[in-house]
Structure formats: C-alpha cells, structure tokens
Amino acid sequence: MKFAVVVFPGSNCDVDMYHAIKDELGEEVEYVWHDAESLDEFDAILLPGGFSYGDYLRSGAIARFANVMKAIRKAAEEGKPILGVCNGFQILLEAGLLPGAMRRNHSLTFICRSVALRVENNETMFTSMYEQGEVITIPIAHGEGNYYCDEKTLNQLIQNKQIVFRYEGENPNGSLEKIAGIMNEKGNVLGMMPHPERAVHELLGSTDGLKLFQSIVKYWREAHVVTA
C-alpha cells in the first residue's frame, strides 16, 4: 500500500507521519508538495499537522486553495482513505470535505500533552482494529482545536455515526460534545485533532495510534483481494 504525506508551507508533523508509515507500519510512503496536480498513484492520503501558511486568516484557510486540494477532492470522491490530523483536520474543514469549524481552545492557550480518547465508532476503515468504546492515549498539540457545528449538523453526525473519537473524561479544548475526530458521511475522510502518528512506539509513551494506520491497511488489503 502506498501513502502520500502532503506537505504545505508550514507543515511540521510531516516527518512524524512519514516515520509512522515507513518505520512502524512498514508501508510505502512519499512526501507530496502542495503544488502537486495528481495523487492517482497513491492509495491513501495523509494531511499532517503544523501551521500551513502560518495559520494566517484562520488555521487551514489558505491551504484550502492549494493546488493539491483538487487532487485530494478527487481522491475523496474515489473513496480513497484520507486522514487529516490537527492542522490537516482544520484544512479538511475549511475545504468543506468535513462539516463544522474549528475555534480557539476555550483556555485561549496552546495545549500539548497526552489525552484519553474513546473510540465511538470502530466500524470504519480507520478504526476496525480498535474495540468499540476502547479508551486510548494519544497526544494533542494545538491552539485551535475547539470543534463546533450547528445543531442540525451535530444531529446528522450522531445519527450517521460520523463521530469517530471523543475525549474521555476531561474536555481539553472545549469541543462540542467532546468531539475529537469526525468522518464524512461516505466514511473515507477522517479528521482528528489528536496525533496518532505520535503514538506508534513505546518510546513515545503509547502505541495506541498504530492501530489506526493498521486499520487503513487492513481495509485496503481486504478491498484489493485478488481471487483466483
């Protein structure tokens, strides 16, 4: 399986993502610059964290106009797995690939520490390796991670089981309904504020993030089984 790690000016978690895929997951991965016109050769697309375009205007607001976003939209329409982490999540929101918006943390401060997450839906291409309701430990590092949407959108997210992760116990940033990660209705685009790529080895304090990437590979292999 071949992954693309999309790099925007200001991305700073692209190396972490690359390492997680290549060294811990053992799959093929390449960096793709923001001006790329095609992602056809890749099986899954990863949008890493950081401060794309310096977070000017709003986090992700300028990145949504990057040339590569056309290819990302195409990949989404084709049903390829697309994962946006932290700033990647913010970009997916700004681009309209996921519903809702991101606001400043309720504390108005940058938060960087490990938090507990609860797996709300393990019947997705991103979470099949987890147990339903499993509580995992994943780091967060953001200043604008306060997810918000209107009541109609929230009801749709709940009814369609699009809320994939919630913060367990405390709500570190004030997100509506403790939402930490959501997917699109089709189920192939996931955005989450916590960093699973920073929880793939015991030396990092947790291996709980590795199952997310393993789930993507499991989905892809099952979808590409060649029968004799």
Rounded Cα distance, 62 and 60, in Å? 6
Q: Is 224 a catalytic residue?
A: no
- The amino acid that residue 190 corresponds to is L
Q: Alpha carbon of 149 to those of 38, 98, 156, 214, 220: distances in Å?
A: 31, 11, 11, 30, 31
Q: Which of 34, 86, 94, 149 is catalytic?
A: 86
Rounded Cα distance, 147 and 90, in Å? 9
Q: Is 197 a catalytic residue?
A: yes
Q: Which of 27, 120, 144, 195 is catalytic?
A: 195
- DSSP 8-state symbol, 49: -
Rounded Cα distance, 75 and 215, in Å? 19
As separate numbers, helices (DSSP H) first and strands (DSSP E) second, the chain gives 5, 11
Residues assigned a catalytic role: 86, 195, 197
